[in-house]
Every structure is written in structure tokens, then in C-alpha cells.
């Protein structure tokens, strides 16, 4: 019985997080200009969760629970995988950064959804610590 209580609480937290993602997408769709939104998925997804985006729908699977929503976008949406190749469905997990970007392509406003390459974002050149310590 205690186990079922905690599962119910976890499911409610998942619903709230999923609804936040859906609300962000709805708000982005209603904006008529260019933008770039980055969502750090560790703030929204549990370790076992998978968010699938594609075909005008969102599905969040967390353990035995599946939540879904549809979005009717007024603008063309392109979904890209990690290599920048267009795909029908994008799978997003806890360690990803989801990017929703809208820009003008000629006279058409396009929305692009993709996972940011985290390795490239956070990679920096290592400093030579022995040289630095000698200078100090």
C-alpha cells in the first residue's frame, strides 16, 4: 500500500512535468516571431522516462505510465536527430537538452526541434595545470 502511494505521487509529478513541456510548446506555437528555447530535460524527466515528439504528438513514457498530447502547429515543424538528420520521431531522455527554435526561412516561419549536442556545448580545452601552478 505504501508502494502504491509513492507510485501515485511519482505519476502526479510526471504529469505536472509533462504538462509544463506541453504548455511551453503551445506558447511557442502561438508566438509569431523568431525564438530559441532550450529545455534541460533533467528538470522535467525522471531517469526512466522517454519523451517522444513527432507527427504532431508528444508521448511521455515513465515506467508503466504513458501520457500524450497533440499540438496543432500553425508553422511547419522539422524534427532533427543528434546528427542533424530529419526524423519522424525524436526520443528525448533525461540527459538531453531539447531545443525548440523558430526562424524565418525566406518568407516562411519554420520551427525546428532537436537535441543539442551536449558534448560539444560543454567541451573546453584543458589548461596545463602544471604550467599554471608554476606561474602562480
The pLDDT tens digits for 33-65 are 899 999 999 999 988 899 999 878 899 998 888
Find the angle CA(83)-CA(87)-CA(123) to the nearest 5 degrees.
25
Does the predicted model carry a pTM greater than 0.75?
no
Using alpha carbons, list the distances in angstroms from residue 44 to 1, 48, 69, 88, 130. Answer: 27, 12, 16, 22, 40
Picking from 12-21, 105-114, 124-133, which range would have the lowest pLDDT averaged per residue?
124-133
Residue 100 pLDDT > 60: yes
- Mean pLDDT (the chain) is 77
Beta strands at 108-115 and 77-79: parallel, antiparallel or unpaired: parallel
Question: Is the pLDDT higher at 26 or at 125?
Answer: 26
Amino acid at each position: 500500500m505504501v508502494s502504491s502511494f509513492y507510485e501515485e505521487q511519482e505519476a502526479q509529478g510526471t504529469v505536472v512535468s509533462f504538462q509544463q513541456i506541453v504548455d511551453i510548446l503551445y506558447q511557442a506555437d502561438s508566438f509569431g516571431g523568431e525564438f530559441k528555447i532550450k529545455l534541460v530535460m533533467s528538470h522535467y524527466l525522471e531517469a526512466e522516462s522517454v519523451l517522444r515528439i513527432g507527427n504532431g504528438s508528444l508521448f511521455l513514457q515513465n515506467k508503466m505510465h504513458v501520457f500524450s498530447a497533440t499540438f496543432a502547429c500553425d508553422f511547419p515543424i522539422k524534427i532533427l536527430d543528434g546528427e542533424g538528420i530529419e526524423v519522424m520521431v525524436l526520443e528525448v531522455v533525461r540527459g538531453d537538452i531539447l531545443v525548440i527554435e523558430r526562424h524565418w526561412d525566406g518568407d516562411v516561419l519554420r520551427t525546428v526541434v532537436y537535441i543539442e549536442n551536449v558534448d560539444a556545448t560543454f567541451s573546453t580545452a584543458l589548461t596545463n595545470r602544471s604550467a599554471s601552478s608554476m606561474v602562480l
